Chains A and B, each alone.
Chain A
């Protein structure tokens, strides 16, 4: 009998290797080069073990991925893993029962979970108020400032660290024949991350983390109004160019070498290396020197992976295996180096350093450096319902500011009033 048991145990562990692997699906919102990297990650996982097989499916954009995930969940056909972007975090985290918290999924399936292994700036955004990971951070980015090195050499100035320094160097860059600054997606750069970078409270109820009831946006914070009045002055003095709400509208003139500084995503690095017509470098996004306790880490952008509820245990085990695989140092370092998204674990960052990756690509390190800055009280994240719609309001009002249809004060009053109406509506969704 004693001899039989180990043999049985051997059989039991060996059996899954002969059986068909458990199939799991992963819906995401990435296209182009980033989709290919996702497929490579999936292939690596499928090759590394034989118990599970993951199939990634691109559902279009981030927003389309979330919408498809929701529709599928309502009809019972949800994928095992769904990628949800930063602005949609409140929607999916609020729907308790739609997901299995990533941390629970891992611990229930025998993995140990160490929150400390993740880079500070990444740890809270997709976590609940107690710091438990609901989503598994996947592709994380930070808004950083890309620099046209030719422009800076020509004007003979240094890259600014604060907005006051920007005001000092911008006229010289303009004289040298450049548009000093453009920025893509101002909602992310000059709104959400103004709060985080300068440590200003974004919304009541601890930026929404303490509950949705009575959460109100602080869009008319005096710091924000003062900053945007500066932005408006820069725009009228032609120190800041604005060419539309689309991401590419403001990236394109930088790629063409007409712009000295462009605030984009750390994840833009891969694409920019191919499209830029001039040498470029990057630095941290400037901070507001007029705010007392500023120069803090920014919120992470990008997206996280959520394990959907309502799946059988063997599939959940596979999702846990995959999450664990994803956060392994080797895969994280691969993903970080292949895409330009920041490494989410400290170990992957150290590995990339040891690989000499940043010596070859100093720009790739800037996003991590920004996320590793000290965390302020208000730079951990925000949890605001219907936030994608609030972004639409912000975009509308920003456009109106630049076309002269409204004043900064009125624009932010409108964002606050309409945003709060949406937040109040969202508080009712949980019934």
Chain B
């Protein structure tokens, strides 16, 4: 208890100090005298948001209603045609389906494994720094490098994973077989993200007071039930934050991994929606179509975030 006693003592001192009779006039709410001053302070931040978010968003929405010459010489107003073309295309639907599956699997596995490793690492006493460093080190690898390493591991001629699969009689063809490539992409993306979740879960676990843990030990003998009913609710704010970050990661930040793994040739490989936006816009120079797709993506993220905050956050308990 000695660890926990120290902060308790200082907290008591602060409370006593706070409860001393006030000598000054009752504190009035802090307010700016000039109405323009707060706007001035906000201006830099607002300018950044305007330049990097609102302005491009408005541009994307405008472009999405036109079919445009890439060089900007001509544009035909086509109403919702770009949206209809995208949503009606079998290829787009296939990519959207894969993106959903990819996001669920990458988020689920990276959160699950991150939590598992954090719980296990939290219990290790001997050599804990070594284990933690080993687990965190992966986070220092840049996504394209992770993609390259994945490519080597799954190379058709020399890849160890391909040889492993061959022992079990499976002919793995990453780059040709759709699901083999999907498996490789998910594996590399999860591997890349686990350390990030690990760091947050570990610090979350260490933020749980020893007193709570000890109390829960007295109340419940089953380790898993204890974890589910006492530890997990206290980790919920961390988990909620990580859920949002991981979904964003799977939707957007895996771009580099995918780009490296498909080697610039989407062919019949699984793709995510953001890669399709890039492919049509930057390689195909179809600005209108690409803009419509990015607006669709923006709406998806908006809806997801709203759902998360409206529905999930209510269940999160912020100690």
Please give the residue numbers on chain A whose beta carbons come within 8 Å of chain B beta carbons, in ascending order. 61, 63-64, 66-67, 70, 73-74, 88, 91-92, 94-98, 242-246, 248-249, 252-253, 256, 386, 388-389, 392-393, 395-400, 402-403, 405, 418, 421-422, 425, 428-431
Stretch of B65-73, B193-201, B209-217 at the chain-chain interface: B65-73
Q: A96 to chain B: which residues have CB within 8 Å?
A: 73
Report A316 CB to chain B, min CB distance, Å. Answer: 18
Q: B85 to chain A: which residues have CB within 8 Å?
A: 421, 425
Contact residues of B: prevailing secondary structure: loop
The answer to whether A73 and B72 touch (CB under 8 A), given A386-B284, A395-B265, A421-B85, is yes
Asked if B70 and A95 sit within 8 Å, CB to CB, the answer is yes
Bound form: Cα–Cα A67–B282 in Å: 6
Asked if B67 and A399 sit within 8 Å, CB to CB, the answer is no
Between-chain CB contacts (< 8 Å), 10 pairs? A63-B283, A74-B72, A244-B156, A244-B176, A244-B267, A389-B279, A395-B266, A396-B268, A429-B68, A429-B76
Asked if B264 and A428 sit within 8 Å, CB to CB, the answer is no
Total number of B residues with any Cβ neighbor in A under 8 Å:
36
Asked if A389 and B76 sit within 8 Å, CB to CB, the answer is no
User: Closest B-chain residue to A67, C-beta based?
Assistant: B282
Asked if B264 and A386 sit within 8 Å, CB to CB, the answer is no
Bound form: Cα–Cα A400–B286 in Å: 25
Q: A252 to chain B: which residues have CB within 8 Å?
A: 157
Q: Does B175 contact A (CB under 8 A)?
A: yes
Q: A95-B73, A403-B178 are in contact. List 14 more A-B contacts (CB 8 A).
A: A61-B264, A64-B282, A94-B69, A95-B69, A245-B175, A245-B263, A386-B285, A392-B279, A392-B283, A396-B267, A398-B267, A403-B177, A431-B69, A431-B73
Report A145 CB to chain B, min CB distance, Å. Answer: 22
Report A65 CB to chain B, min CB distance, Å. Answer: 11
Q: A73 to chain B: which residues have CB within 8 Å?
A: 71-72
Bound form: Cα–Cα A192–B89 in Å: 25
Please give the residue numbers on chain B whose beta carbons come within 8 Å of chain A beta carbons, in ascending order. 67-76, 78, 85, 89, 91, 156-157, 173, 175-178, 263-269, 279-280, 282-286, 289
The answer to whether A403 and B266 touch (CB under 8 A), given A94-B69, A95-B70, A386-B284, is no
Asked if B72 and A242 sit within 8 Å, CB to CB, the answer is no
| Contact among B68, B91, B268, B285 with A403 in the assembled complex (CB-CB below 8 Å) | B268
Asked if A429 and B67 sit within 8 Å, CB to CB, the answer is yes
Asked if A388 and B285 sit within 8 Å, CB to CB, the answer is yes
Q: A91 to chain B: which residues have CB within 8 Å?
A: 70, 285
Asked if B69 and A430 sit within 8 Å, CB to CB, the answer is yes
Q: A389 to chain B: which residues have CB within 8 Å?
A: 279-280, 283-284, 286
Bound form: Cα–Cα A88–B286 in Å: 12
Bound form: Cα–Cα A398–B176 in Å: 10
Q: A64 to chain B: which residues have CB within 8 Å?
A: 282
Asked if B70 and A403 sit within 8 Å, CB to CB, the answer is no
Report A295 CB to chain B, min CB distance, Å. Answer: 30
